[in-house]
Amino acid sequence: MLSFFKKAKPTIRGGVHATEHKSETSGKPIVYSFPLPAKLYIPLQQHVGKPAEPLIKVGDHVLKGQLLAYSQGAISAPVHAPTSGIIVDVSEYPAPHPSALPIRTVVLASDGQEKWQKFSPVNDPLTIDPEEISLRVGAAGIVGLGGATFPSAVKLSQGRKNKVHTLLINAGECEPYLTCDDRLMQERPEKIIDGVRIMLHGLGATQAIIALEDNKEQAFLAMQTAAQPYPNVTVMQVPTRYPMGWDRQMIRYITGKEVPAGSRSTDMGILLHNVGTAYAVHKALRTGQPLISRVVTISGSAVKNPMNVEVPIGTLISEVLDFCGVDLEKTQRLVMGGPMMGEALPHPAVPIVKGTSGILALAENEIKTGTEQACIRCGSCVSACPAGLLPLEMMSRIKNNQLDAAVGFGLKDCISCGSCSYVCPSNIPLVHYFKYASGELIARQQAQHKTEQTKRLMHDKQARLERIRLQQEEEMRQMQMEKQQRELAKAQAAEAEITS
């Protein structure tokens, strides 16, 4: 069965072994007793693609699981009501993003009833038409729950079209602190395996491989037991080395082959999904419930009672932090996601969204900010880069505003994994430079595009004016000629009169 992988030569390039900080939460069961918030703030864009379009209006009463906004366009996802209650507002609220800029949000005041909408789940999802699985996954609003938030239904359909043979379930959870996938696998392995089998059926793929980092022994055993009856589902361990969860790193490790630059893994017949997504698929197909809640890791040394807790989508982060007892005085940085690639939030008054895997309240001794010093070219970043780039060379070019030279060193192949910044002894925020440069390159491209367009318009206008001028001149000449001819005719007529 594993013939495809026989030639596999496991290699890991680069990466770091970051301090894990997982033991704070990995041994504790997921907490389900989070009190229902009075108000939920549900952004209409919690996914990659176009924002969902609301079909409710202020004052409407909605049931738990009811569709609030439908997906629009090829790449989008719908949004559902996490509880029953009344819509009190549809307008702009701060987004869970470093900028905290306003984003279109539905505000739902819960009525405390938790009254479900009626669903019509299919009897046996493993025998229905594969297309139906994509449709139902799409209708349930499921997106990549690892944090990438790409609409899962789109991936399933594309995978089926590309004749994918292997479904790779990314359960690496290589980010420090985060254990929500770990706990999910320890507590609900059968449901996850069921979700994986449903996705396999939906894809028409022959086998599924679930890959976990080898620091999750309990989860591995639980998953292996649950997968026992199904020969086409394999659970395997991969080394604990960040960024193992980078899809391309995992594919390289498992298959020994690299995904070519500019191609997708589906071109190689492999499709990746996050393990949390598999669980959401199980829930959507077996019970009909859409994605309206998720397990979030709340951790960091400023949290008194770190835990994994299931919360409704739209819960304000501040409420979850209160529930876990966060010392805001001690909190030096608030991070959504993991510490390596997560984003710093300016304040906790923003909602938890589908892609929120963790909320970290980090103290000074964890983030270890230091003043930026000169680069001593020690090469730690070069060894740590999983993509094979030269971070220090890119950085020095960007500092001198030579962005094209930085591109020459591979700026566009950077995945912002943060390994380089993590190891730098000079505290150089390399990723910061790379993100700046990437943004600046896009801005410049747009500016250049605009200049070119302006130039073209101006050129067109000049051509038009020139044409008009030529036309007028031509008309003028003709008029003059006509006039001359008329005068000539007149003169001839007069002459003729005289002579006659």
Q: Which is nearer to another protein, 413 or 440 (CB)?
A: 413
Segment 200 to 229, residues that bind another protein, using CB under 8 A? none
Please list, in sequence order, all residues whose beta carbon lies within 8 angstroms of the beta carbon of residue 369, skipping any fewer than 6 positions away. Answer: 332, 427
Identify which of residues 19 and 471 has a Cβ nearer to another protein in the complex.
19
Print the SS3 string covering 223-255: HHHHHCCCCCEEEEEECCCECCCCHHHHHHHHH
Q: Which is nearer to another protein, 35 or 260 (CB)?
A: 260
Closer by beta carbon to another protein, 165 or else 191: 165
275-286 vs 180-187: helix axis angle to the nearest 10? Answer: 50
Among residues 341, 52, 344, 298, the alpha carbon closest in space to that of 183 is found at 298
| Planar angle of CA 79, 81, 83, nearest 5 degrees | 155
Q: 19, 225, 471, 485: which one contacts another protein (CB under 8 A)?
A: 19
Q: Out of 92, 132, 404, 413, name the contact with another protein by CB under 8 A.
A: 413
CA distances from 233 to 129, 174, 229 (A): 21, 22, 9
Site string for another protein, 365-394 (x = CB under 8 A): -xxxxxx-xxxxxxxx-x--xxxxxx-xx-
Q: Where are the alpha helices (DSSP H) in 335-429?
A: 364-367, 380-384, 391-399, 403-408, 419-423
Nearest CB to another protein, comparing residues 115 and 264: 264
| Shortest spacing between CB 233 and another protein, in angstroms | 22
Q: Which amino acid is at 176?
A: P
Determine how β-strand 293-299 pairs with β-strand 358-362. parallel
Stretch that binds another protein, among 48-56, 275-283, 312-320, 337-345 (CB under 8 A): 337-345
Residue matched to tokens 């999983």: 386
- CB closer to another protein out of 279 and 422: 422
The secondary structure of the chain in percent helix, strand, coil, rounded to multiples of 5, reads 40, 20, 40
Closer Cβ to another protein, 16 or 77, answer by number: 16
How far from chain centre, in Å, is Cα 375? Answer: 32
Size of the residue set binding another protein (CB under 8 A): 74
Secondary structure element (H or E) that encloses residue 281, with its range: helix 275-286
Binding range to another protein, per CB under 8 A, among 125-133, 192-200, 213-221, 424-432: 424-432
Contact positions with another protein (CB under 8 A) in 233-272: 248, 252, 257-263, 267-269
232 binds another protein (CB under 8 A): no
Site for another protein in 66-95 (CB under 8 A): none
Of 349-368, which residues contact another protein (CB under 8 A)? 360, 362, 366-368
What is the spatial distance between Cα 368 and Cα 328, in angstroms, rounded to a whole number?
Answer: 18
Residue 340 found at the interface with another protein (CB under 8 A): yes
Residue 309 CA to residue 314 CA, distance in Å, equals: 14
Quick note: the x/- pattern for another protein over 434-453, rule CB under 8 A, is: -x------------------
Task: Kindly tell me which of 377 and 467 has the beta carbon lying closer to another protein.
Answer: 377
Stretch that binds another protein, among 68-76, 179-187, 312-320, 325-333 (CB under 8 A): 325-333
* Residue 400 touching another protein (CB under 8 A): no
Among 328, 442, 465, 489, binds another protein (CB under 8 A): 328
H or E element, residue 461: helix 430-499
Site for another protein, residues 112 to 171, rule: CB under 8 A:
none
> With b meaning 16 or more CB within 10 Å and e meaning fewer, what string describes 401-437?
eebeebbebbbeebbbbbbbbbbbebebbbbebbeeb
Cβ 76 to another protein shortest distance, Å? 27
- Name the DSSP letter for residue 351: B
12/128 with CB nearer another protein: 12
Q: Which residues contact 147 (CB under 8 A, 6 or more apart)?
A: 337, 338, 341, 355, 357
Residue closer to another protein, measured from CB, 83 or 249: 249
Q: Near another protein by CB under 8 A, which window of 26-34, 228-236, 411-419, 465-473?
A: 411-419
Q: Which of 168, 334, 350, 395 binds another protein (CB under 8 A)?
A: 334
Exactly one of 63, 221, 344, 441 binds another protein (CB under 8 A); that residue is 344
The answer to whether 39 and 105 have CB atoms below 8 angstroms apart is no
Within residues 279-318, the interface with another protein by CB under 8 A covers: none
